[in-house]
Structure 1
Amino acid sequence: MFGTSGIRGPIGDEVTAALALAVGRAVASDGYETVVLGRDARESGLMLVDAVSAGLRECGADVIEVGIAATPTVARAIDHLDADAGIVVTASHNPKTDNGIKLWTPSGKAFGPGQRDEIERRIEESDYDLAAWDELGTHRQYDGATAFHAAALADAVDIDGNPHVIVDVGNGTGGITASVLDDLGCTVETLNGQPDGSFPGRPSEPNAETLESLAAMVEHTDADLGIGHDGDADRMMAVDETGTFVPKDALLALFARKAAGDGDRVAAPVDTSLAVDDALAAVGASLTRTQVGDVYVAERATEDDVTFGGEPSGAWIWPEETLCPDGPLAACKLVEFVDTAGPLSELADEIEQYPIRRTSVEVTEKKAVMTAVQERVTEVYDDVDTLDGVRVETDKGWFLLRASGTEPLVRVTAEARSAAAAERVFDEARALVEEAIDAVGVAEQ
């Protein structure tokens, strides 16, 4: 039911009002007495919010509804409103046909595996504590969540100049970025600024392909950089002043190097590029690898010497601010960086880029295949990490074999410091998956 990023799936199939009602009932029954509730711009979200709210109140929890808002806005509001948890109805960067539900703690960290498992158990067993007629939860609307978030963003950065920024909101809830940057004295233009959950301007996920219009607009104006958000603005990607998409690992390395100093650590998942290790080594810092998923990065970011956490997918965490990936905060931090350190293209060029190969192999029994992969890898290689999948360091580079959390896939990633070495490591890794498929006797789809 729960993936690493909550519940997501097609409306009317995997995600229904009945499921939303059950989630609300389970959260309230698990002892969360006051819950902040918000949603992204998808039309189906209105129905799901109503169902979640009904389930919460039916089991005695009080609901504070903040309406349509960015996910980090809702996450920050939990502690601000002295609530016990937050629920965001969102499918984040998924297609318009989908919706979902994500659960948050007062620190801004998403519910961890243990918390998710308990909610899922209650739903599967219908283990709800329905309240008496005179003990039902209350409901109130709160309209100040975005203003609170905006004030926190303004306090987190110091922009002295007048950088020209183009913000591609992606028809999502990231308009707060443009508003705050404008208030801070930047020259701001927007693309796809009207919230619309059908995402008419572009697909919700911000990447090199979907941000082509942003790149073209930046290239043909005097803009200093472009910012791109996903549907709920927990992600942020960037385009430099030449209209070039900034590689994801380069952006992670830039943020990491800026946030860390001698002896500090940065948290990032097991599929993070060697470029980040090298960038951190140059300032005396190091990378600590986590499982894939912002909840795992956020958990590691609670450790004292971890100053930043990030995922190449565009989720960036500054633990002194919030443990929620905060796309608008990342945007403001990047604009501040460019304002003080110079053109984004030059900053990105300082980060070494290494060849990386990726593919996904469809299999009918991914768990069995991964068990066979792990057995074979531990026989052949000395430096094996099984934190999340199987990650192997070789003298030529590294590779990662990892089962998808939501699809019948085994993902293969390989990286080295030369193209030839990356190809050899990738071929080794892919061969291991093929051997495992043969060993367990399942079909490759």
Structure 2
Amino acid sequence: MFGTSGIRGPVGEVVTGDLALSVGRALATTGAERVVIGRDPRDSGRFLADALSAGLRECGSDVINIGLAATPTVARSVKWKNADAGVSITASHNPSTDNGIKLWNPSGQAFDAEQRSEITRRIEEEDFDLSAWDETGEEKRWNGANDQHVKTLAETVDVDSLSVVVDVGNGAGGVTADALYELGCDVETLNAQPDGRFPARPSEPTAENCQSLCDHVDATDADLGIAHDGDADRMMAVNENGEFVSGDVLLTLFARQRAGEGETIATPVDTSLIVEDVLAEQGGDVVRTQVGDVYVAERATESGVVFGGEQSGAWIWPDQTLCPDGPLAACRLAELIAKEGPLSELAAGVGEYPIRRKNIEVEDKEELMAALSTSVTDRYDDTTTIDGVRVSLPEGWFLIRASGTEPLIRIAAEARDPDAADEVFTMADTFVTDHLN
């Protein structure tokens, strides 16, 4: 039922009003007495939020409905309102046909595997504690969540005046523009009207989808372009020349800014070597996680881990919240540029290594992955199997892992020069093709 980012899928097929009602009942039955609910702009979120609220109240929980809000606003509101849990009705960067449900702890951390398993069990067994007619919960509206998020960001970040273009992507991330304005920036917005059809561009902030933002920044004197997905837990950026900045480069810049001597950042197994190399120069270290921001957040709770990030655009500062906070990331990046110079120069100072990627469609990814893991670990000594199998080599690394959502085996390989990257990729590709033949 739960993936790495909660429940997600097509409305009316995977995600239904019945499911939302059951999640609400299960969450209340586990002991959540007060729950914050917010949603992204998808129209289906209206009835899903209603159904979830009904399930919660039917089992005695009180509901604080904050309406249309970014996922990090929902996650932060749990603590702000002294609640026991939070629920975001969102499919994040998925298309408008989808919706989903994300569950949050007061720390901003997503529900862990044990919590998700308990919710799943109660739904499958219909194990709910329905309240008596006079003991049901109440729903109240709180309209101050976005303002509180803006206030928190303005108190956290220090930015001299910059010119910033924020592409909200018709999503819930308008809080970013408000926060940057409060910080003294000259702010222009693109696609700021919330619209769950995402008519301006696909919701995921990739280089291809952000071409209009790149063109706009290039045609103006803006210092920075910011792009969010539908629920604004992701943040990607465009430099002052209108060039899209890769997630690996952003991750390296954030990590270098945050991690000092003896400190660690958490990042998935498919993250670039450049992060390790740059951090090593200042005495920092990297701990690897499974792919998915929920796993990054789990490692970010450990002592000495000061930052977590995923090159897809999820950025976590554990001293602030364990939820990926796109608006916070946008403000942190603006702060970095204001203090250290143009993003193009900062990115050039980091550099990038050549990386090769390939997806192979397969019939039984689990069986194939099990055989591949055995073969690769038998062949190489320095392997990691927390998510697929990752091999560290003197010249680079390769990773073979099953997709979490599609019938695919994903191959990634990286080295410090192109020829070595080709060689390492060929090693990985050969392992997969040999097992398919």
Measured against the shorter chain, the TM-score band is over 0.9
Q: Distance in 2 between matches of 1:8 and 1:396?
A: 38
CA deviation profile, 1:382-436 (whole Å, cap 9, x unmatched): 1111111101112331111111111111111111111111111111112212233
AA aligned to 1:30 is T
Instruction: Judge conservation of contact 1:399–1:415 (CA < 8 Å) in 2.
Output: yes
| Residue 182 (structure 1) aligns with | 181
| Residue 256 (structure 2) aligns with | 257
| Residue 225 (structure 1) aligns with | 224
Instruction: Judge conservation of contact 1:367–1:403 (CA < 8 Å) in 2.
Output: yes
Deviates more, 1:27-36 or 1:249-258: 27-36
Instruction: Judge conservation of contact 1:370–1:403 (CA < 8 Å) in 2.
Output: yes
- Does structure 1 residue 52 correspond to structure 2 residue 48? no
| Residue 270 (structure 2) aligns with | 271
CA deviation profile, 1:267-306 (whole Å, cap 9, x unmatched): 1011110011111112110111111111111111112211
| Residue 364 (structure 1) aligns with | 363
| Residue 413 (structure 1) aligns with | 412
| Residue 138 (structure 1) aligns with | 138
| Residue 329 (structure 2) aligns with | 330
| SS of the residue 1:131 aligns to | coil
Instruction: Judge conservation of contact 1:370–1:436 (CA < 8 Å) in 2.
Output: no
Q: Distance in 1 between matches of 2:135 and 2:64?
A: 17
AA aligned to 2:69 is A
Instruction: Judge conservation of contact 1:234–1:315 (CA < 8 Å) in 2.
Output: yes
Q: Distance in 2 between matches of 1:121 and 1:435?
A: 40
Q: How does 1:153-164 map to 2 (within 5 A)?
A: 153-159=153-159, 161-164=160-163
Q: How far does residue 236 in structure 1 lie from its aligned partner after superposition?
A: 0.3
| Residue 309 (structure 1) aligns with | 308
Q: Distance in 2 between matches of 1:432 and 1:293?
A: 25
Q: Distance in 2 between matches of 1:56 and 1:418?
A: 55
| SS of the residue 1:268 aligns to | strand
| SS of the residue 2:350 aligns to | coil
Q: Distance in 2 between matches of 1:68 and 1:41?
A: 6
Instruction: Judge conservation of contact 1:8–1:91 (CA < 8 Å) in 2.
Output: yes
Q: Distance in 2 between matches of 1:283 and 1:95?
A: 41
Q: How far does residue 328 in structure 1 lie from its aligned partner after superposition?
A: 0.3
| Residue 170 (structure 2) aligns with | 171
| Residue 116 (structure 1) aligns with | 116
| Residue 295 (structure 2) aligns with | 296
| Residue 19 (structure 1) aligns with | 19
Q: Distance in 2 between matches of 1:51 and 1:361?
A: 39
Q: Distance in 1 between matches of 2:173 and 2:136?
A: 34
Q: How far does residue 73 in structure 1 lie from its aligned partner after superposition?
A: 0.4
AA aligned to 2:166 is V
Q: How far does residue 352 in structure 1 lie from its aligned partner after superposition?
A: 2.4
Q: Distance in 2 between matches of 1:129 and 1:432?
A: 51
AA aligned to 1:244 is E
TM norm structure 1: 0.97
- Does structure 1 residue 422 correspond to structure 2 residue 414? no
- Does structure 1 residue 94 correspond to structure 2 residue 94? yes
Q: How far does residue 234 in structure 1 lie from its aligned partner after superposition?
A: 0.4
CA deviation profile, 1:86-144 (whole Å, cap 9, x unmatched): 00000000011110000000000001111111111111111111111111111111111
Q: Distance in 1 between matches of 2:11 and 2:387?
A: 30
| SS of the residue 2:322 aligns to | coil
Q: Distance in 1 between matches of 2:434 and 2:132?
A: 59
Q: Distance in 1 between matches of 2:19 and 2:421?
A: 44
Q: Distance in 2 between matches of 1:129 and 1:31?
A: 10
Q: Distance in 1 between matches of 2:429 and 2:62?
A: 51
| Residue 80 (structure 2) aligns with | 80
AA aligned to 2:396 is G
AA aligned to 1:307 is V
Residue segments in structure 1 that go unaligned for 5+ positions in a row: 439-445
AA aligned to 1:117 is S
| SS of the residue 2:109 aligns to | coil
Q: Distance in 2 between matches of 1:293 and 1:398?
A: 19
Q: Distance in 1 between matches of 2:240 and 2:346?
A: 11
Q: Distance in 1 between matches of 2:85 and 2:435?
A: 42
Instruction: Judge conservation of contact 1:315–1:326 (CA < 8 Å) in 2.
Output: yes
Instruction: Judge conservation of contact 1:40–1:197 (CA < 8 Å) in 2.
Output: yes
Instruction: Judge conservation of contact 1:268–1:309 (CA < 8 Å) in 2.
Output: yes
CA deviation profile, 1:325-344 (whole Å, cap 9, x unmatched): 00000000000111111100
Q: Distance in 2 between matches of 1:369 and 1:112?
A: 27
What is the aligned-residue identity percentage? 62
Residue segments in structure 2 that go unaligned for 5+ positions in a row: none
Q: Distance in 2 between matches of 1:114 and 1:362?
A: 31
Deviates more, 1:353-362 or 1:425-434: 425-434
> Segments of 4+ in structure 1 off by > 6 A?
none
| SS of the residue 2:360 aligns to | strand
| SS of the residue 1:350 aligns to | helix
